Structures are given as structure tokens and as C-alpha cells.
């Protein structure tokens, strides 16, 4: 049964992420007064990319992208099976590092700049991601998601500051403006695609699928803050995920891309004030 669950997660998670991405594009189009593509357009794009030829810069350039996908899949399986959230965070970080290495391996100036921006983003949001895992452990005395979502009270009650910090850094993880610095998901952002510049065909499709997994991972973190042993809490947790994702879309369409200096400073300020203060205050009631 466990193996079957893992297989279902690996298959269904990117499908859910692709549908969310398609919904994102539809809502974005409506906000901009356009008709926009159909919800299934991301799947059409990926299928078309799989039919195209992949031009390899070198073997390592492709290798790193596939390793990044494996680590992201591993992270998704850990989280959706109720595993160790700290292990999931470390695996997700490793996936991001391999993606950066892929950009460096191409030796393209555009990819190099994109990789450096991706590293800057990681420096900005990783402290808050790690603090989220620590905060959930501190509130529920367990790193395992299955234990956290089986508590009597939702984690959001004791970790409101950590949750606000998570909302802020999800802008980075979901690759939304104003902090989508390393690549452009929208045509108006830049002429070239940053870290993705030298990828094509199947390799570019793998990058898109990796992002679909990351969307599911991000919303799973939100879900954990609201779920408890009460069955009705799952409904509120799903509604929270929908509201958070819609909020991220609104932010994406309401702000222009900012400079990396502001992204780095603002993320650290939010981490220090919202996340750290929340844990310090929580320590006085434990």
C-alpha cells in the first residue's frame, strides 16, 4: 500500500500542479483584461516540448536538471506521506542547488546571471523555510507531518508570525513578482529566460514539471498549518491553500520585479521579525 501511495503521489502531484499553473494563467489573463489560454495549456506546452529536440550544451547541463527533479519528487513524497518535514526541506534545498549547478554548467552568460540570482533567492528564503520546520517542531514536538496534522489545535494558532513569514517567502518559491529574479515565466519580464536560457525540448519540459511539484510542496506547507485531527479541519486547510495561492497571483500581477538587494533585505527582515519573534514569544508559554 505504501508503494502504491508513492506511485500515486508521483503521478498525481504534477497533474495537480499543472492544473494550478493553468488556473494561475487564466486568472492572470482575466486581471489583465485578456481571454487567456485554457486551463490545460501548461500540459499542451509540456507535451509539445517533449516532441521537440533537446539541444545539449554538455552532458552535465542536462544531468543536473534531472537530479533536481528527482530531489523535488522525493520531497513531495516525504511531505504527502506525512514524513519528516526537516528532511523534506533539506531535499528541496538540494534540488534547488542542482538546478543552479545546471545553469552554471551551460557557460552561457544569461544562464550564469540567472544562476547567481537563483543563489541570491535561496539566501533570501532558505532561513525562513528552515525556521518554518523548526517552528512546527517547537509547536507540536515532532518533525513528522503526520504528527503535526494530528494535533488538537492547528499550528497557525501558535505560529502566526511564522506563517506570515512563510507567505512572504512563497513569493520566491512560486516564482512570482516582485521576487521572480532568476527566470521569467511571463513573456513581458525579459527577452531571455535567465537560468533556463540554454534548455530546450525535453529538458525544458522537465523544468516545468519540477515547478509543478514545487507548487504542490508550497501549498502542502500551508495545509500543515491548518490541519488537525478533526476531519472538518481539512476543509479549512484546503480553503486556506486556495486563498494563499490566489493572494500570490494577485501579488504577482500587482508588483513589478524588484532588485535582488531589496529581495534579500526584505526576506531577512521578515524572517527576523515575524519568524524569530514568534518563536521567542512562544518559548515563554512553553
Angle between helices 85-105 and 109-140 (to 10 degrees): 180
Q: For 12-53, how does the pLDDT look when each residue is reduced to its tens digit (9 = 90+)?
A: 999 999 999 999 999 999 988 888 889 999 999 999 999 987
* 96-116 mean pLDDT: 85
The residue-averaged pLDDT of 137-147 equals 88
Least confident of 9-13, 15-19, 150-154: 150-154
- The set of residues, in sequence order, having a beta carbon less than 8 Å from that of 12 and lying 6+ positions away, is none
> Are the C-beta atoms of 96 and 125 separated by less than 8 Å?
no
Contact 117, 99 (CB under 8 A): no
The DSSP bridge partners found for residue 84 are: 144
Q: How confident is the model at residue 193 (pLDDT cuts 50, 70, 90)?
A: low
The residue length of the chain stands at 286
108-117 tens-digit pLDDT: 788 888 888 8
Task: Report the pLDDT value the prediction gives residue 188, as an integer from 0 to 100.
Answer: 45
Output the CA torsion sign for 244, 248, 253, 258. Answer: positive
pLDDT single digits (tens) 39-48: 999 999 999 9
Q: Each residue of 132-155: b (16+ CB within 10 Å) or e?
A: bbbbbbbbbeebbbeebbebeebb
List the single range of 53-62, 85-94, 98-107, 179-188 with lowest mean pLDDT.
Answer: 179-188
235-252 pLDDT tens trace: 999 999 999 999 999 998
What is the structure's pLDDT at 191? 47
Comparing CA positions, the residue from 51, 79, 54, 77 lying closest to residue 65 is 54
Measured distance CA(261)–CA(255) in Å, rounded: 16
pLDDT tens digits for 119-134? 888 898 999 999 999 9
DSSP per position, the chain: -HHHHHHHHHHHHHHHHHHHHHHHHHHHHHHTT-----TTHHHHHHHHHHTSPP--S-HHHHHHHHHHHHHHHHHHHHHHTT-BHHHHHHHHHHHHHHHHHHHHHT--HHHHHHHHHHHHHHHHHHHHHHHHHHHHHHHHS-SBHHHHTTSSS-GGGT-HHHHHHHHHHHHHHTT-TTS--S--SSTTT-SS-GGGTT--HHHHHHHHHHHHHHHHHHHHHHHHHH--SSTHHHHHHHHHHHHHHHHHHHHHHHS----HHHHHHHHHHHIIIIIIHHHHHHHTT-
What pLDDT is attached to residue 52? 86
Domain extents in the chain = 46-181+202-283
What is the rounded distance in angstroms from the CA atom of residue 58 to the CA atom of residue 32? 40
Lowest-pLDDT range of 29-38, 203-212, 219-228: 29-38
Q: Using pLDDT thresholds of 50, 70 and 90, give the confidence band for residue 93.
A: very high
Average pLDDT of the chain, as a whole number: 88
pLDDT score, position 186 = 54
192-196 mean pLDDT: 72
Q: What are phi and psi of 257, to 5 degrees?
A: -60, 135
Amino acid at each position: 500500500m505504501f508503494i502504491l501511495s508513492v506511485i500515486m503521489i508521483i503521478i498525481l502531484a504534477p497533474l495537480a500542479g499543472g492544473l494550478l499553473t493553468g488556473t494561475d494563467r487564466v486568472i492572470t489573463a482575466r486581471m489583465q483584461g485578456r481571454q487567456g489560454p485554457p486551463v490545460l495549456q501548461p500540459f499542451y506546452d509540456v507535451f509539445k516540448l517533449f516532441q521537440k529536440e533537446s539541444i545539449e550544451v554538455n552532458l552535465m547541463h542536462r544531468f543536473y536538471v534531472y537530479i533536481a527533479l528527482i530531489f523535488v519528487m522525493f520531497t513531495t513524497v516525504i511531505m504527502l506521506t506525512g514524513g519528516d518535514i526537516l528532511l523534506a526541506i533539506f531535499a528541496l534545498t538540494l534540488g534547488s542547488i542542482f538546478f543552479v549547478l545546471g545553469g552554471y554548467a551551460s557557460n552561457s552568460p544569461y544562464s550564469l546571471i540567472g544562476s547567481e540570482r537563483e543563489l541570491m533567492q535561496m539566501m533570501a528564503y532558505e532561513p525562513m523555510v528552515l525556521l518554518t520546520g523548526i517552528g512546527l517542531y517547537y509547536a507540536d514536538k515532532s518533525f513528522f507531518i503526520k504528527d503535526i496534522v494530528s494535533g488538537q489545535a492547528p499550528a497557525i494558532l501558535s505560529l502566526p508570525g511564522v506563517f506570515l513569514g512563510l507567505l512572504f517567502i512563497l513569493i520566491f518559491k512560486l516564482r512570482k513578482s516582485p521576487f521572480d529574479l532568476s527566470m521569467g515565466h511571463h513573456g513581458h519580464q525579459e527577452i531571455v529566460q535567465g537560468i533556463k536560457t540554454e534548455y530546450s525540448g525535453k529538458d525544458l519540459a522537465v523544468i516545468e514539471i519540477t515547478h509543478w511539484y514545487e507548487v504542490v510542496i508550497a501549498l502542502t506547507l500551508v495545509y500543515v498549518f491548518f490541519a488537525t485531527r478533526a476531519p472538518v479541519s481539512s476543509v479549512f486547510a484546503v480553503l486556506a491553500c486556495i486563498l494563499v495561492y490566489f493572494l500570490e497571483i494577485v501579488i504577482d500581477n500587482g508588483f513589478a520585479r524588484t532588485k535582488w538587494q531589496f529581495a534579500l533585505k526584505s526576506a531577512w527582515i521578515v524572517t527576523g521579525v515575524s519568524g524569530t519573534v514568534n518563536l521567542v514569544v512562544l518559548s515563554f508559554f512553553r
